[in-house]
Structure 1
Amino acid sequence: MRPLENIKILDLSRVYAAPAGTMILADLGAEVIRIEHPNGSDSMRDWGPFINGESTYYISANRNKKSIILNLKEESDKEVLLDLVKESDVIIDNFKTGDMKKMGLDYENLKQINPCIIQCSVTGFGQTGPLANEPGFDPVIQAMSGLMDVTGHPDGEATKVGVPIADILTSHYVVIGILSALRMRDLTGRGQFIDLALLDVQMSSLANISSAYLNTGFESSRLGNKHNNVAPYQVFECADGPLMFCVGTEDQFRKFCEMVNRREWTLDERFKTNTLRKQNEPVLTAFISEITKTKTRDEWIELLQQFKIPGGRVNTVAEAFQQPQVIARNLIGEMDHPVYGTVKFVKNPLQYSELNISYDSGPPLLGEHTDEILKMNKS
């Protein structure tokens, strides 16, 4: 038994943020049906690299789903969708604000057909405000939210995160929002509309940076791999490459000084507290840099583990997947697909004591389940 196995979700979304969210819900047992245009409406299918003709980008957000073809500009196909709405729990889209209403598929219309339906609309800027009708892509959101301005090296340009982080975070809020709305429906018997904007999500995820600005007016700046508030907390070069050191507490700093044979630093007026260390960070960093170069990363990791100080290699993606810890956690899954062949993927990170998440089907071909679903819908 899986927690969402009686939940049916109609997924009209494209690209990453919303599809990645519905994939998590599918992992938890929901029946997720992708509604796609006959010509293919998801540009993610066209983004390489490819495995046997299928986009690895598309694969990353669409396992455990079904796909049917409907042209929602045709009244007959729209009627098919509305019939599916009658027996569904959730409908999700990421059309531009106002497009669903133009098609007669906005929440006000859908709830007349199914008062229990939950609709989640994911857009760049939300359903209100001066930018409501504008498209919003992940890098644009990273730029507008201030995230890029605090990412990168001090003497370099503002830099986006190496993954579509605004989309990824939004996919998690898709799950949180839908699960919360389902629970509320259990209590009230009514569905509702969820207005979810990428910009809102990314702004809310500025965490300590937003708190510092809102409460003190302090504007964080780009610090490379250093921390805005803590020192020493950065990448240092070792004899054979870079290593991340995170000395986050006073006790850890004391242990760090012991580890590098510099106990006198704990008595140095420049380094006695984290605030002082941050004020004198250039001096402290220069001292530490000379020491870290004297040992290899493996030698330092052994010492870090001995002294219970957080630290880790700066890995390439290939090195990350080859780590014994990743292998021990059994994070890499495989699925067979009649067209794609063997598809590898990173498993859902949720590990339950009473639930085994299953991976029943690979990402669907365009319209792969059209006949199956329409037959069931007619019967």
Structure 2
Amino acid sequence: MSFQSQRVGAEIASDSEEAPLSGVKVVDLTQFESGPAATQLMAWLGADVIKVEPPRGDPSRSLAGGTDNRDSILFGLLNQGKRSIVLNLKQEEERRVLFQLLESADVLCENFAPGTLGRLGLAPEFLRERFPHLVVASIRGYAPGGPWADWKSFDFVAQAVAGAISVTGEPDRPPVRIGPTVADSGAGAQLAVGILAALMRRHRTGEGGTVSISLQDAMLNLMRNAMGPMYVSGEPSERFGDAYAPSAPSGLHPCSPGGPNDYVYVLLGHRRHWDALLRAIEREDLIGDPRYVRQSLRNAKVDEVRAIVSDWTSRHDKHTAMERISAEGVPCGATLDTRELLSNPQLLESGMMGAQSIPGWGEPVVPGCPLIIDGCRMAAGSPPSLDADGPRLRRVETQGAGK
């Protein structure tokens, strides 16, 4: 298996031995998003990830855009660079193939519903006893020990029970969920950190172990900032829509020509940003104006100061507005829609977005590995077709078992 890395802005070079996780073998029983997000990170970094799938495949293969002739694009985005083998783990003979894979594996990763591993004869206690070197990593909806531990969950449910939905939306309207599936991919990213920590410990002790995370806990870990106002006031944190309440006129400002995503987000994070913003929007006449000179005064005139900024942004397209405001040192971002991401020069030239071969989809421009190590961004491999590596893996493992 070849893992290349792309030096940001320059040449493409390296082989599998240069990948940080070269030599690490992961047996991946996960499906949908949370678990595959964890193993995707490890595959990007050079681990040999073997995706063990049921006879009909990971259910995510049939999601958005999936047909009888191609897998869904979601499967393609979350399973780059992995290998695939089909095993019916309800059958003893097929479980023996899994056990042969685990003999030489470093990690087993799964995100089944509570109790499923035990029903398959793969309880963590059994795995630890039979494979003491193995790190067993799991994702659940809720952590063990609580009254909800046996309940199922998905991303949007986790957003609700971790408080994220309660702080998202407009103050005078019902709460809304966050657009990205933050709980799923967030749990996967945090689990990957736990797996690497367990592997580091094994390096010292020679013993594997278990690592687990729940969707609720992972989402709650991302809620620390949003919980801050509650600790100050003693009341539940409020919804503020797009505004950043402590720092008016921070928030979304409309741009020309007025399309559904023609906005910039401006964030004043330092006392010098107000004067810099006024220079950017050609309102130097307001620098030092006693009505706005302090943040507390601006916060008391939210609508007024937002109107000052929006009057200027509405006469410029969002890219021009972002460029001029950013040039003055004020954090500002154009609201890019998902199609605009495909042609964004920052993402393309830095290597975060690029063409990737995905069976049935050609070579679409897709996100890659977000990590840059020693100036290199690890290149993504293509996702596997169902059981693409099954015959070879069965042959290799059977030969190994016979020695």
TM-score normalised over the length of structure 1: 0.91
CA RMSD in angstroms, aligned pairs only: 2.3
TM-aligned CA distance change 1:368 to 1:301, over 3 Å: closer
Q: Distance in 1 between matches of 2:303 and 2:152?
A: 42
- Measured against aligned partners, the alpha-carbon deviations of 1:315-359 in whole angstroms (never above 9, x if no partner) come to 222223222222221333334466654354211122222655233
Equivalenced residue count is 376
Q: Bigger shift: 304-313 or 278-287?
A: 278-287
Deviations 1:59-105 (A, max 9, x none): 11001111111111111212221222222111011111222123231
Task: Please give the secondary structure, in 2, of the residue aligned with 1:135.
Answer: coil
8 Å CA contact 2:76, 2:358 repeated in 1:
no
Q: Aligned equivalents of 1:58 and 1:294: distance in 2?
A: 41
- Aligned residues with identical type, % of pairs: 27
1:294 deviation in Å? Answer: 4.2
Structure 2: state its 5+ residue gaps.
1-16
Report the equivalent of 2:8: none
Distance 1:277 1:77 in 2: 67
CA contact (8 A) 1:127 1:195 kept: no
Q: Is residue 219 of structure 1 aligned with residue 241 of structure 2?
A: no
1:64 pairs with 2:84: no
Pairing partner for 2:270 from 249, 252, 262 = 249
Contact 1:256 1:307 (8 Å CA) reproduced: yes
Equivalent residue for 1:293? 314
Worse overlay, 58-67 or 125-134 = 125-134
Distance 1:29 1:294, change over 3 A: closer
> What is the letter of the counterpart of residue 393 of structure 2?
I
- Alpha-carbon distance change, 70 to 285 in structure 1, aligned in 2, over 3 angstroms: same
The aligned residue for residue 299 of structure 2 is: 278
Note closer, same or farther for the CA distance 1:136–1:288 as it changes in structure 2 (3 Å cut): same
Does structure 1 conserve the Cα–Cα contact (< 8 Å) formed by 2:351 and 2:377?
Answer: no
1:203 aligns with 2:220: yes
| Superposition deviation, residue 279 in structure 1 | 3.9
Alpha carbons of structure 1 residues 312 and 341: separation in structure 2 relative to 1, 3 Å: closer
Contact 1:97–1:126, Cα closer than 8 Å, also in 2? no
Q: Distance in 2 between matches of 1:117 and 1:214?
A: 41
Alpha carbons 1:33, 1:65 under 8 Å: kept: yes
CA-CA distance at 1:228 after TM superposition: 3.7
Q: Structure 1 residue 200: deviation in Å?
A: 0.2
Q: Which amino acid aligns with 2:234?
A: G
1:24-43 to 2 correspondences below 5 Å: 24-40=41-57, 42-43=58-59
Q: Tell me the distance in 1 between the aligned counterparts of 2:134 and 2:228.
A: 36
Question: Aligned partners of 2:380, 2:195: CA distance in 1, in Å?
Answer: 21
Tell me which moved more, 292-301 or 306-315. 292-301
Alignment of 1:51-130 (within 5 A): 53-130=70-147
Mark the CA change 1:50 to 1:343 in structure 2 (over 3 Å): closer, same or farther: farther
Letter in 1 for 2:132: P
3-state SS of 2:50 partner: strand
CA contact (8 A) 1:331 1:347 kept: yes
- What does the per-residue CA deviation read over 1:4-26, in whole Å, with 9 as the maximum and x for residues that have no partner? 12111111111001101101101
Which of 268, 274, 281 is equivalent to 2:290? 268
Q: What secondary structure, in the 3-state scheme, does the structure 2 residue paired with 1:359 have?
A: coil
**SS across alignment from 1:10:** strand
Supply the distance in 2 between the matched residues of 1:7 and 1:373 (Cα, whole angstroms).
Answer: 16
Q: How much does 1:296 deviate?
A: 4.2
- Structure 1 gaps, min length 5: none
How far, CA to CA, are the matches of 1:181 and 1:307 in structure 2? 45
Q: In 1, distance between residues paired with 2:366 and 2:309?
A: 39
Q: Distance in 1 between matches of 2:122 and 2:245?
A: 46
**TM-score, with structure 2 as normaliser:** 0.86
